[in-house]
């Protein structure tokens, strides 16, 4: 398998640990086959796939230019959701409260990657943090997403302040390695 790359919003270590800690309270209700390693939590902005070094360098240059004046901003994790078959979901994820600044930042990164020559997915941006993959239980009950949501009563607040180009290292845990990092402006 070839190495893949993607641009993402990185989370501070304390936020990743909070996500995992709160998830431990409800994990027994969600029998998924593979759980994401705590150090691999992120929010994908643009999945590049495999890439040649010149295109990666160009994307780093253009993303850096596109977000150089972007300011850090607050976000919070508030919900749970799934993608895939209603009875046997493929992806289990945490949601963030909708935020125009997040949408704008993702759009800038995405456009810079297109300008770099990457062919990107055209699906609308759906901000989420992948937590687990491949449901192994009986028929999934969507009511569980609300009744077992640890973030509903105790949302996780944090400052979005870092955009990172990650490399996927298949077979390693954690598997995402930062290649380039851009810090947003903090006041």
Coil/strand/helix, residue 72: coil
Burial class (CB in 10 A: 0-12, 13-18, 19+), 55: middle
For 73-99, the pLDDT digits (tens) are 999 999 999 999 999 999 999 999 999
Cα torsion through 23, 149, 30, 82, rounded to 10: -110
State the catalytic residue, choosing from 4, 29, 76, 128: 128
Based on the residue annotation, tell me whether 76 is a catalytic residue of this protein.
no
Coil/strand/helix, residue 154: coil
pLDDT over 90 for what percent of the chain?
Answer: 95
Residue ranges per structural domain of the chain: 5-183
Question: Taking all residues of the chain, what is their mean pLDDT, rounded to a whole number?
Answer: 96
For 43-80, the pLDDT digits (tens) are 999 999 999 999 999 999 999 999 999 999 999 999 99
Burial class (CB in 10 A: 0-12, 13-18, 19+), 2: exposed
| Domain spanning 5-183, CATH class | alpha beta
Give Cα 158 distance to the centre of its chain: 14
Q: Distance of CA 63 to CAs 28, 48, 51, 66, 120, Å?
A: 40, 13, 16, 5, 15
What pLDDT score does 1 carry?
62
State the catalytic residue, choosing from 4, 29, 37, 42: 42
187: pLDDT confidence band, cut at 50, 70 and 90?
A: confident
For 109-167, the pLDDT digits (tens) are 999 999 999 999 989 999 999 999 999 999 999 999 999 999 998 999 999 999 999 99
Based on the residue annotation, tell me whether 29 is a catalytic residue of this protein.
no
What pLDDT score does 2 carry?
76
């Amino acid at each position: 398998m070839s190495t893949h790359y993607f641009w993402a919003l990185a989370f501070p270590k304390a936020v990743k640990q909070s996500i995992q800690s709160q998830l431990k309270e409800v994990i027994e209700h969600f029998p998924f086959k593979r759980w994401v390693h705590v150090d691999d939590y992120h929010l994908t902005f643009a999945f590049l796939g495999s890439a040649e070094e010149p295109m990666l360098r160009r994307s780093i240059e253009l993303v850096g230019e596109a977000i150089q004046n972007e300011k850090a901003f607050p976000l919070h994790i508030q919900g749970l959701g799934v993608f895939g078959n209603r009875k046997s979901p493929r992806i289990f994820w945490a949601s963030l409260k909708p935020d125009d600044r997040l949408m704008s930042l993702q759009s800038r990164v995405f456009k810079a990657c297109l300008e770099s020559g990457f062919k990107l997915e055209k699906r609308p941006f759906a901000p989420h943090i992948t937590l687990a993959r491949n449901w192994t239980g009986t028929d999934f009950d969507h009511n569980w997403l609300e009744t077992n949501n640890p973030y509903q009563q105790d949302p996780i607040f944090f400052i979005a302040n870092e955009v990172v180009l990650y490399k996927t290292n298949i077979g390693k845990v954690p598997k995402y390695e930062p290649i380039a990092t851009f810090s947003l402006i903090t006041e």
